[in-house]
Structure 1
Amino acid sequence: MENNMKKIVAIAFASAAMLSTAFAGEIEGVVKNFDEAASTVELESGEVYTVAEGVEVEGIEAGKTVMIMFNDGTTEATEIAIVE
């Protein structure tokens, strides 16, 4: 019985981990404007993303190509990486 319970808990944790990544999106683009005070990144394509608290923004500036990871259904950037 205890062994079955461990399997059920392991499956539940694995399912939760897969669901959390299933709702993430990403976009690559060139930065048109980065407003550090407002915590926003605008891409040349017109999309504007709000940078979530704690996201590293060092080196982000107009003209840089970036990969932005965000939660689907939102414009909150959860990670930003400069593409080289």
Structure 2
Amino acid sequence: MAEVLGHCEACNAKIRTGDACHYTADGCWLCDDHAPMLSDAIRQHQEIAEAPWFDPGSLNYDSLDDLLAQMNRMRRELAEKGDRKLLVTA
């Protein structure tokens, strides 16, 4: 049986080695059913970019320019390949 690495923050489902899941910047696990979409990540980046002061929270950006560059890469990917869940293999 695969090792349990964590539990989904939304539904408490076990996340095991080999599962498709999302691991958030602030260290939370999300199962396949609750993983964010690429469009969700773009929306989150847009909200940070539009805030009166730059605070990326737990996202790893040193500057607004870094965040905007990544947001533009995500927008190009969305336009070229469509929306998708942001999943990794645990």
Q: 1 or 2, which has the higher strand percentage?
A: 1
Task: Return the TM-score normalized by structure 1.
Answer: 0.28
Query: Relative contact order, CA 8 A, sep 6+: which one is greater?
Result: 2
Task: Return the TM-score normalized by structure 2.
Answer: 0.27
Instruction: Report the structure number with the largest CA radius of gyration.
Output: 1
